[in-house]
Amino acid sequence: MSYGYTGNILDINLSSKKHWVEHPPEDFYRTYWGGRAIGLYYMLCQMKPHIDPLSPDNLLIFAPSVITGTPAPAIPRYTVCAKSPLTGAQGEAEAGGWWGPELKKAGFDAIVIKGSSKIPVYLWIKDGQVEIKDATHLWGKDTGTTQKIIKEELKDDKVRIAQIGPAGENLVHFANIVNELKHFNGRNGLGAVMGSKKLKAIAVRGTKPIELYNKERVSQTTKEITKRVMDNPLSRDLRELGTPAVVRGFYEAGCLPSYNWTTGYFKEGENLTAETYNKTILKGTKGCYACPIRCKRVAEVDEPNLKVDPAYGGPEYETIVSLGSLCGISNLKYIAKANELCNKYTMDTISTGMVIAFAMQCYKEGLLTKKDTGGIELTFGNKEAVLKMIEKIVHREGLGDLLSQGSYLAAQKIGKGSKKFIHQVKGQEIPMHDPRLKTGVGLQYALSDYGADHMKAAHDPFFKDKDSVGIKEMKGLGILEPVSHTDIGEKKVTLFKLLDIYWTVFDILGVCDFGYVPRSVGTMEELLEIICAATGWRTTWFELMQVGERSINMARIFNYREGFTSKDDALPEVFYQDFTGGSLDGQGAINKKDFKKAIRLRYELMGWNPDTGIPTPAKLIELGLDWLIEEVSR
């Protein structure tokens, strides 16, 4: 009898239209647990190196975890994995919402999709039954329309649907996957992989409860965390102001990414704050499965010439900046419209904003002309131009086709020195947190196996003081000493080695960082309690950290065999320069030599070759990955 997990992994071959169910032993689950760890296992075992990410040879894996679907708070997330068309590296993206728990209730721990269909299809999975259905009539439709049609066809309003819109169908390299219209597997272009397989959607419905080892203990811990979450100031802030609350601090400090990262000073920043948001476009808030926080924004605009449909949620911090100040836009209503378009077409808002801001700078510098833009005046601050460019990217028209491949490839094709205007790691555009004020975040940008990501570890400020929550609550990991948020020395490197692994455990288990320490109030001990009560496994943080570290090493090897080297673990040049404008003018540059030293130390701490960053055979043996030694011995 298994608890927490179902013991069923669904394999689907879209080329042959066949499907079957694997029943891995308990040891498999105890080794990989869920999410990216399960995804990477299949990618390393079944995918040949150097395949085209948009070919039938790519795998597409949907994986919640052994604790997804329990009533415990803030554990709604699941991972999608594939080789990324944006980076060419291992790709992954986690999403909240309701789809992951529903897949578990429908009887599966993961879905592994191979091949590709000749015609558009969608999967219908209900209580262990699987059907591949024709989706020809859905191809080309936006996500709202698709969701409505599928729910009507299946005659069940409680069906949960993960799907792609036209951006995924048109193979935009940063297309994403959405569930319930507003919860995204946002980054790495995994929506394009889904589109390349002609897979429009996966509809799931489960009516069976997930078997838990000790349901009462899970419920008791849930009640205790939930009560504290409701009383916690940070949670209240997330509920009332949401992630847009971040805007004010960055704008007032002069580190709000603006005008394609040329400055952190944005004069009209007040227009983008959470307070302005609440007064002008906020319609309400929404939450994910079993989460009391309800941090998600829902925006609505209803003006004669501008309408924003609240069905697609509302812009979060990253979107407000990437489609706002980064493009010189200070009108929240237009940012909400840009967000709605990206969401209904399923296109990552960070990369979308970044490629448009890049094109705006190229236009400003004369590297792109009105002829190139199809007549669009692509100047910073032109809000109508942003909306037009989104349409062009989605439909791959003119300059939009070039930008749809991401800024790295676009700069190569534009040439003329445009490379200095892109800001990316491993081909993925950087998010909207500036590493000059959070050097640990910079380390994570550089070292992330799937390209720059702000959700690769807790951020530095949680560890800056002896009374910081990270120091008070995470001693169990050996985190005892505070480190300044701008430090890039040995203590910072050691801290972020641990945080990287800890956060990877969150990703594997589907835990939202807004529910547990250091970002929130659920403790490490309580998370352990939930896992033990759900699965019946008497686990420890030692075991969990090994699970996290194992998957980091698996990703490292995947990337190594794809040709990535230590040169790819680098920050964009802009962060080695001081801020310009605003309160931080003339300050902040990260010392490049110190940063490189930090990367080298991190390799050593991880048990990797300090010159190449390749895991050593001893490290692989320690983590039970001896089956991968051959990969590093070539």
Residues that bind other proteins (CB under 8 A): 233-234, 236-238, 241, 243, 245-246, 248-250, 252-254, 295, 316-317, 431, 433, 441, 454-455, 458-459, 461-462, 464-469, 485, 513-514, 518-519, 583-584
* Phi/psi-derived region of residue 497, left when phi > 0, alpha when psi is between -120 and 50, beta in every other case: alpha
Nearest-approach distance from CB 353 to other proteins, in angstroms: 17
Q: How far apart are CA 508 and CA 75, in angstroms?
A: 11
| Count, residues in the chain | 634
Instruction: Please give the C-alpha separations between residue 5 and each of 66, 509, 533, 535, 544, in angstroms, as whole numbers.
Output: 5, 12, 12, 8, 17
Nearest-approach distance from CB 464 to other proteins, in angstroms: 7
Nearer to other proteins, 169 or 318 (CB): 318
Nearest-approach distance from CB 542 to other proteins, in angstroms: 26
Handedness of CA 283, 288, 289, 292 (dihedral sign): negative
How, if at all, do strands 9-13 and 110-114 pair?
Answer: parallel
Q: How far apart are CA 536 and CA 522, in angstroms?
A: 20
Q: How far apart are CA 497 and CA 415, in angstroms?
A: 37
Nearer to other proteins, 29 or 462 (CB): 462
Nearer to other proteins, 245 or 625 (CB): 245
Structure tokens at 300: 């609505």
Nearer to other proteins, 248 or 286 (CB): 248
Nearest-approach distance from CB 23 to other proteins, in angstroms: 37
Residue 45 in contact with residue 32, Cβ under 8 Å?
A: no
What number of CA atoms fall less than 13 Å from residue 187's CA on the CB side? 30
* Phi/psi-derived region of residue 26, left when phi > 0, alpha when psi is between -120 and 50, beta in every other case: alpha
Nearest-approach distance from CB 482 to other proteins, in angstroms: 8
Nearest-approach distance from CB 72 to other proteins, in angstroms: 20
Nearer to other proteins, 205 or 433 (CB): 433
Q: How far apart are CA 400 and CA 406, in angstroms?
A: 10
Q: Is 119 exposed, middle or buried (0-12, 13-18, 19+ CB in 10 A)?
A: exposed
Nearest-approach distance from CB 497 to other proteins, in angstroms: 18
Chain-centre distance for alpha carbon 20: 29
Nearer to other proteins, 150 or 441 (CB): 441
Structure tokens at 374: 């199809």
Nearer to other proteins, 513 or 549 (CB): 513
Structure tokens at 194: 């889904």
Q: How far apart are CA 230 and CA 177, in angstroms?
A: 30
Nearest-approach distance from CB 456 to other proteins, in angstroms: 8
Nearer to other proteins, 245 or 557 (CB): 245
Nearer to other proteins, 233 or 415 (CB): 233
Nearest-approach distance from CB 242 to other proteins, in angstroms: 9
Please provide the DSSP assignment of 318-339 as one string.
HHHHHTTGGGT---HHHHHHHH
Nearest-approach distance from CB 585 to other proteins, in angstroms: 10
Nearer to other proteins, 513 or 529 (CB): 513
CB neighbour list of residue 76: distance below 8 Å, 6 or more residues apart: 68, 96, 97, 98, 100, 101, 288, 289, 290, 291, 510, 512
Nearer to other proteins, 146 or 448 (CB): 448
Structure tokens at 229: 């979450």
Nearest-approach distance from CB 317 to other proteins, in angstroms: 7
